[in-house]
């Protein structure tokens, strides 16, 4: 009789405890994704704060490139006002190539490339890009763990209507493309 009571008690604990544990794990992973997203948000805000300073720095040197500068500022403003991972991702996919284009055009201005202010801003932007990449890796790792937990059994039974989260992947074709170097004799 005592063994039957113990078995019933253990079964009740398992029937209640396991679903609660699984559900709590899904909630924990969901919150980790939110926390990881805030890391991306902070790094992107830092980049967005650097862009106006960068544009001001190059404005005097690149008078004939006003359309490029205006485009970078407009895309930066869109990125600042974007909401949620999808909105931010779309804005960043437009901003990153514009910034790359700006830096490509800077190559034509040797005085600008040697300016102390520009070099400092460029270094800060490089450091910020490294922070964004690290935050993106952390976020994507958490998203992968969350998605796996709600897609596999038994977590799929306790997902509570939570949709899969999307990864934060910015097109980096400009970064991965080979650089063409042209030497000229002056």
> 72-90 b/e with 16+ CB inside 10 Å = b?
beebbeebeebeebeebbe
178 DSSP assignment = P
- Write down the residue that tokens 């969901």 correspond to: 30
Residue carrying structure tokens 């949620």: 84
Query: Which pLDDT does position 169 carry in this prediction?
Result: 86
State the pTM of this model. 0.80
Half-sphere exposure of 14 toward its Cβ, with a 13 Å CA cutoff?
6
> What is d(CA 175, CA 147) in angstroms, rounded to the nearest whole number?
28
CA 118 to chain centre: 25
Return the pLDDT at 172: 56
Where would I find the H helices in 60-83?
A: 66-80
* Mean pLDDT split into 10-residue runs, the chain, 186 residues: 92 94 96 96 96 90 86 94 90 92 88 88 94 96 97 92 90 48 46
pLDDT at 99: 92
pLDDT of residue 78: 95
């Amino acid at each position: 009789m005592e063994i039957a009571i113990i078995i019933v008690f253990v079964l009740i604990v398992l029937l209640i405890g396991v679903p609660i544990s699984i559900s709590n794990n899904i909630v924990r992973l969901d919150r980790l994704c939110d926390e990881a997203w805030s890391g991306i948000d902070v790094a992107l805000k830092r980049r967005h704060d650097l862009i106006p300073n960068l544009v001001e720095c190059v404005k005097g040197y690149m008078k004939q490139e006003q359309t490029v500068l205006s485009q970078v500022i407009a895309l930066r403003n869109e990125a600042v006002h974007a909401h949620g991972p999808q909105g931010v991702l779309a804005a960043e996919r437009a901003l990153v190539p514009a910034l790359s284009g700006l830096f490509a055009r800077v190559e034509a201005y040797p005085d600008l490339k040697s300016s102390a202010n520009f070099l400092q801003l460029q270094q800060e932007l490089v450091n910020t890009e490294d922070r964004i990449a690290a935050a993106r890796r952390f976020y994507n790792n958490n998203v992968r763990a969350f998605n796996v937990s709600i897609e596999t059994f038994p977590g799929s039974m306790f997902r509570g209507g939570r949709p899969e989260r999307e990864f934060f992947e910015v097109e980096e074709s400009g970064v991965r493309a080979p650089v063409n170097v042209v030497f000229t004799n002056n």
